Structure 1
Amino acid sequence: MNISTSWLREWSDPKVSDIDLAEKLTMAGLEVDKIGPVAPDFEGVVVGVVVSCERHPNADKLSLCVVDIGKGSNLQIICGAPNVRKGLKVAVATVGAVLPNNFKIKKAKLRGVESFGMICSEAEIGLSDEHEGIMELDSSAPLGENLRYFLDLDENIIELDLTPNRGDCFSVLGVAREVCAIYDLALPKREYRAKVTGKRTFNSTISSPKACPKYLTRIIEGIDTAAKTPQWMAQRLLRSSQQLHSPVVDITNYVLLELGQPMHAFDLKKINGDINVRMAKDGEKIELLNEQTVALRDDTLVISDQHSAIAIAGVMGGISTATEDDSTEILLESAFFDPISISGVARSYSLYTESSLRFERGVDYELTHRAMERATELVLEICGGKASEINQCIDASSLPTIEQINITSEKISRVLGFELDPAWIESKFKSLHFDTISHGNSSWTIDPPSFRFDIRLQADLIEELVRLYGYDKVPVHNLSSTVNISSANQTQITSHDISHSLVNRG
């Protein structure tokens, strides 16, 4: 999982360097595979606008451009990109600029016409491998602004290698919780509440409550089809290794990365009747968003309308109800699927998705409403429209149950081999968002939070304490023992014992 440090610091901002933060995360069990800037070093690249664009007099595939970089006189630049055009905001490497791999920009003459700089593609400044055309910057980009500053290219990206038991950390929120626990910081309380102006309802039922105890939907109508994904969101998605799609799909992906709740958006007009969450019929077919058609097994949980399956639950939606650029009415979905019911389903159909990755490891079942409100807020802000009330199907008896865990400082010391301060122990339990009841004699009753599926035993609690204490701080003791070795009577040694001893000696 990739996460930008600037996004993370909006949630939790310890006053340490990004390198120190990465080291702390690794020592706390969230291994950082790599940390580095968004783009390699380059200098002399600024924001410009194409004032005019005409065909090169001596080359059909080249354009003769006049570019304003906000410095008074305009620059004449020859460009071969097919997407260059008048009025476009672009990244301009001026004469004297130094691009990655020490590539220096000099005044040049192309087919008899002088060129004073270069209009850059993403590949030329090391942002991606995209070289089919030049970068198209947002129309709000200020002329003459240093590109590194405008695109925040000096921020670092942390690449995390998370263990399967830490599904709660597959989000900015999850990693921020860890940072707060490590540095004794308070996690900001961010509540979302979208404005409800619509009055439409939608009916959905759950036929398999054990596999899907909670299923929420919401209608948003009046979507502006001309809306575009804002640059700040697109930038964060791309830096988290997510592709860009339509604004609605980008918003659901953004909420997945921010909060850890996979979501889906259906085109409401393409749904036939009500929705039912059920097990698939053996051999039932569905064409997925990746244009792959699969024959379903009867152990696969699906989302279906009155005619057919329209999504594999927790894995991927179907193409028949996918949102498109002209979709004006959508149905947002936010659900909790049982990890055991989802585990292995994606792989069995040769699929891998960000949703299945999280649902297999366990998604917080108390997050569904919060994520729905957050996604709705963003849709209304970016795409407009009217949101109706949330429609919910919840089988409370099928939701996960969390057992209390009793533990004492004596037990902790006996397992670790050294003592921890009881006050420190209690403070760390609370920083991990464990509901903690202190019994006053260095013993506690712990209620793990709904997002920690991996905390079920005393050993799990002790592991949490020692990783926050620091594995590198655990004292090393040389073990010593007095052992009495007595001789054995030869008559008591069997031939089997002799052969076993010889085998052990090679």
Structure 2
Amino acid sequence: MRVPLSWLREYVDLPAGITGREVAARLIAAGLEVETVERLGEGLRGPLVVGKVLAIEELTGFKKPIRYCQVDVGTANGSGEPQNIVCGATNFAVGDRVVVILPGGELPGGFAIGARTTYGKLSEGMICSARELGMGEDHAGIVVLPPGHEPGSDAIELLELNDEVLDIAVNPDRGYCLSLRGVARETATAFGLQLRDPALLDVPRANDSGYPVRVTAAACRRFVARTVTGVRPDAPTPVWIQRRLQKAGMRSLSLAVDITNYVMLEIGQPLHAYDRARLRGPLGVRRAEAGEKLTTLDGVHRALDPEDLVITDDRGPIGLAGVMGGAETEISGPTAAGTGLLDEATTDVVIEAAHFDPVTVARAARRHRLPSEAARRFERGTDPQAAPAAAQRAVDLLVLLGGGAAEPGVTDVLADGAPGTIVIPADHPDRVAGVTYGREAVVRRLQEVGCDVAGTDELTVTVPSWRPDLTDPNDLAEEVIRLEGYEELPATLPRPPAGRGLTARQRLHRRVGRALAGAGYVEALNYPFLGTAVLDAFGLPADDPRRRTVRLVNPLSDEAPALRTTLLPGLLEALRRNHGRGSQDLALFETGLVFRPTGEETPPVRFPITERPSDEDLARLDASLPQQPRRVAAVLAGGREQAGWWGPGRPADWADAVETARLVAREAGVELTVENDRHAPWHPGRCAALYAVVDGEKTLVGHAGELHPRVVKALGLPERTCAVEADLDLLQRAGTGTVTAPRISAFPVATQDVALVVDASVPAAEVEAALREGAGELLESLRLFDVFTGEQLEEGRKSLAYALRFRAPDRTLTAEEATAAREAAVAAAATRTGATLRGA
């Protein structure tokens, strides 16, 4: 909503020195969203005057039309003689009033005007277009004023060129602010001033002699019809109305249409004007019937829907109610500049001011893709009590400016309905805001909104007809709080009850994120959408569970119409994109949900919005959803360790991916068992299956390793890209639920190394588990520090060297105790894996 400050001052006596920015600040504090304050006429300096064209000489020999004009500018030039001006526009004639800037003036943008010779003639000034004056973007022709303006009079004042315009983004619940009346009410409240309500007019009572109207649809609560006869078809729209419409973002069309738009902007009630000569019988309001069509004012032939609300006469639909009128009853008359008459120009006008159901109008506007200024207001809720006043205002302007006569007949079809009331404790806003306002402040603020308030401790509030958004006590509390000032609310932190902190799942999620960030990974959040192309690139078999997806009804992209079943596609795309932009060494991670349908889900259910679903309904809803485990994934490419003076660097490999999985598992308090596996999209010889004990059983929780070369090539990834993905929910179930602090002993450590020879097929993790079991409680840590294969060993055998650290919490270990623990560990490894001591 664009609000000229000069227009706003008609309804609120703002102090003379108040600027648009100051008004905007007050409105923003009251909860309105003022996007910009546009200063019109900035840089404009006169003399800028009205001129009358006396003569036009057409200059020839040039590539475009050039005219040498004599213009009467009165005494503004100091001599009273006509001004000679060269002009390239052709949309004016002798006798027209135009806008002239004389030498010494300056147009917006620093364009100084002087007398100069051009096209072989001396040009003493300029005849101005709308864009040159900052009135709009129209540069096709110069501004032609209606007749009657005195040559030499000040055009800056006439055209109200110096002004400020507030551009307000009106929220859906503040439809009343789509009018000067609504914005003026908020402004008056913000400044503590009186409002001159433009809707407070003397309106004659309804009678039986008005234009007949039949309303058969409940979606029309009120329909007011007034008639004005004898309107002069050539009556021009006054400049002041044209300029106000222009500042508000609308263009001038004809007097009758301009008046309806002007009143809509002023009061907020959309109007429609019919040519009475084109009406056939009474007006009606009903739902459309199957097969009916309508040609709207934009010239489009539209097939109507049975849900559409239409205005009719004896021929059928003549308008789409609340959205746009029909072409058959269109007002015809002069152009906006008053340069000519159309055939059968309108002289008798029927004014419609109605109140339509917001939802019905909104659906019709979207159904026909026909947004309009009227629909924008109706769908937010208009004031049904303002309809008679808006019709009266339009009638008065048509009589005053168009020379018409108002017929005494007044039609007012009004559905039964009582104003809404809300019962609210007087201290309810205090309890909502945590601030003590007191009863007097609450009553005063509600009255400023327009409410009638009765009662003492418990208030009975009758909401105003222009505020359909006020329906419950919290709405009223919000009005009190915003008018008292949001800045007055104290900044207080919420105080959560004890025992309601993060859940175990949330704590694990945060710990994993912090651990991965500490290990050098960067979190990358990706869209949870998936396409079949990436699953094909992964080389997944047809029966892989990751190919069973949940498809979206309205996907953002046809290339990704399903919800993800794995985190890797999004992470690998982020890695590819960043690598393509010059980042060579990358380590990214993400934690989030995946969607794994089992095929056993029940059909989705819908619940009414009028009541809370029962526990049984919520259980049915949960049963209709796919499984949504929380997973963690990470991808690596490039160097894992940088080269420098400290030594050579090292590229990331499958071992880093496995170590990342162990890092995640440690945050859950879980020891992983790592085994070789073949699982797409990983390299079959460099893929590790990750196992943990979940609910007493060995369970697969994820995979880690290097991606298959075919996958790397298909996705355009760096060579030797590695990845890990694991199920966080399974790791949480496998863990202890608590993170135990490390045990610290003041006694020295005893270190024993052991090298064991085993078959090449025996996993190192199995040997490690056996050593831990045999070493007993004295074992503090165990680390594999060397793997050897070569001629010194038999074919098919490998040597694994471990460092064992022993420590007791209460004493210094003897050499005999450490040796005994080592020998017990070796014996256990020999029993379980067939290991032998190297060199034995």
Common fold: TM-score over 0.5: yes
Matches of 1:174 and 1:500, distance apart in 2: 59
Is the 8 Å Cα contact of residues 58 and 111 (structure 1) preserved in structure 2?
no
Retained in 2: the 8 A contact 1:200–1:219? no
Structure-to-structure mapping, 1:127-276, within 5 angstroms: 127-190=135-198, 191-193=200-202, 201-208=210-217, 210-276=218-284
Counterpart selection for 1:123 from 131, 134, 159: 131
Deviation at 1:178, TM superposition (A): 1.2
Query: Residue 645 of structure 2 corresponds to which residue in structure 1?
Result: none
Matches of 1:321 and 1:84, distance apart in 2: 31
Stretch of structure 1 that moved more, 12-21 or 475-484: 475-484
The equivalent of 1:12 in structure 2 is: 12
The one of 110, 121, 129 equivalent to 1:102 is 110
SS at match of 2:7: helix
Distance 1:135 1:501, change over 3 A: farther
Whole-Å Cα distance in 1 between the matches of residues 41 and 322 of structure 2?
34
Report the CA distance between 1:106 and its aligned residue.
3.4
Superposed, which structure 2 residues align to 1:265-344 within 5 Å?
A: 265-325=273-333, 326-344=345-363
**How big is the shift at 1:406?**
2.1
The correspondence for 2:370, drawn from 324, 328, 351, is 351
Q: 2:68 aligns with which of 61, 64, 70?
A: 64
- CA distance in 2 between partners of 1:8 and 1:455 (Å): 25
Partner-residue secondary structure (3-state), 1:323: coil
Q: Which structure: larger Rg?
A: 2
- Secondary structure at the counterpart of residue 294 of structure 1: strand
Aligned-pair CA distance for 1:378: 0.9
The Cα offsets for residues 104-148 of structure 1, whole Å up to 9 and x where unpaired, read as 333322232222222111122322221222112344444444433
CA shift, 1:447, in A, is: 0.8
Residue in structure 2 matching 1:456, options 455, 467, 471: 471
**TM superposition shift of 1:171:** 0.7
Secondary structure of the residue that 2:378 maps to in structure 1? helix
CA shift, 1:462, in A, is: 0.9
Relative distance call for 1:475 and 1:227 in structure 2 (3 A) is: same
Q: Is residue 447 of structure 2 the alignment partner of residue 466 of structure 1?
A: no
2 CA distance for matches of 1:43 and 1:90?
17
Take 1:98 and 1:295, find their aligned partners in 2: how far apart are those partners?
A: 53
Contact 1:282–1:297 (8 Å) recurs in 2: yes
Between the aligned partners of 1:378 and 1:120, the Cα distance in structure 2 is: 29
TM-fit CA distance, 1:434: 0.4
Which secondary structure does the structure 1 equivalent of 2:382 belong to? coil
Do the aligned partners of 1:192 and 1:377 also contact (CA within 8 Å) in 2?
A: no
Distance 1:255 1:86 in 2: 34
What secondary structure, in the 3-state scheme, does the structure 2 residue paired with 1:11 have?
A: coil
Deviations 1:444-503 (A, max 9, x none): 2211111101101111011111111111221112455784799x9xxxxx966962798x
Which residue type is aligned with residue 52 of structure 1? A
Find the residue that maps to 2:27 and give its secondary structure.
helix
Is 1:437 the counterpart of 2:441? The answer is no
Report whether the alignment pairs 1:447 with 2:462.
yes
Could you say if the C-alpha distance between residues 309 and 481 of structure 1 is closer, same or farther in structure 2, counting changes exceeding 3 Å?
Answer: closer
Alpha-carbon displacement from aligned partner over 1:285-338 (angstroms, at most 9, x marks no partner): 000000011000111111111121000111111001111111122221111112
The equivalent position to 1:41 in structure 2, one of 43, 49, 62, is: 43
- Structure 2 length as normaliser, TM-score? 0.55
Helix, strand or coil at the partner of 2:446: helix
Quick one: structure 1 residues 115 and 260, their matched pair in 2 at CA, closer, same or farther if it must change by over 3 Å? same
User: Does the 8 A contact of 1:12 with 1:176 survive in 2?
Assistant: yes
> Given the alignment of the two structures, is residue 369 of structure 1 paired with residue 369 of structure 2, yes or no?
no
**What is the Cα-based RMSD across aligned positions, in Å?**
2.8
Corresponding position of 2:778: none
- Residues 76 and 423 of structure 1: CA distance in aligned 2, closer, same or farther (over 3 Å): same
Q: State how many pairs are aligned.
A: 493
- Give the unaligned 5+ runs of structure 2: 334-344, 504-693, 696-728, 739-840
Structure 2 residue aligned with 1:50: 53
Q: Which residue of structure 2 lines up, in the alignment, with residue 499 of structure 1?
A: 732
SS of residue paired to 1:290: coil
In structure 1, give the amino acid aligned to 2:65. K
What CA distance in whole angstroms lies between the structure 2 residues aligned with 1:46 and 1:195?
Answer: 44
Q: Secondary structure at the match of 1:213?
A: strand
2:351 alignment partner, SS class: strand
Tell me: higher relative CO, structure 1 or 2? Use CA pairs within 8 A at least 6 residues apart.
Answer: 1
Q: 3-state SS of the aligned residue for 2:395?
A: helix
SS in 1 for 2:189: helix
Q: CA deviation at 1:395?
A: 4.7
Gapped regions of structure 1 (runs ≥ 5): 489-493
Question: Out of 100, 103, 117, which is 1:92 matched to?
Answer: 100
CA contact (8 A) 1:264 1:317 kept: yes
Higher mean C-alpha deviation, range 241-250 or range 72-81? 72-81
Equivalent-residue separation in structure 1 for 2:376 and 2:223 (angstroms): 19
Structure 1 residues 149 and 392: CA distance shift in structure 2, 3 A: closer
CA deviation profile, 1:239-293 (whole Å, cap 9, x unmatched): 1111211211111111111111111111112112222211101121000000011
Q: Given residue 484 of structure 2, which amino acid in structure 1 is its aligned partner?
A: Y
CA distance in 2: counterparts of 1:482 and 1:365, whole angstroms: 47
Task: Check whether the contact 1:45–1:91 (CA below 8 A) recurs between aligned residues.
Answer: no
Give the drift of 1:206: 1.2
Sort the Cα spacing of 1:75 and 1:426 in 2 relative to 1 into closer, same or farther, 3 A.
same
Query: Does the CA contact (< 8 Å) of 1:193 and 1:374 recur in 2?
Result: no
Question: Aligned-pair distance for 1:201?
Answer: 3.9
Task: Give, in whole Å, the separation in 2 of the partners of 1:431 and 1:151.
Answer: 34
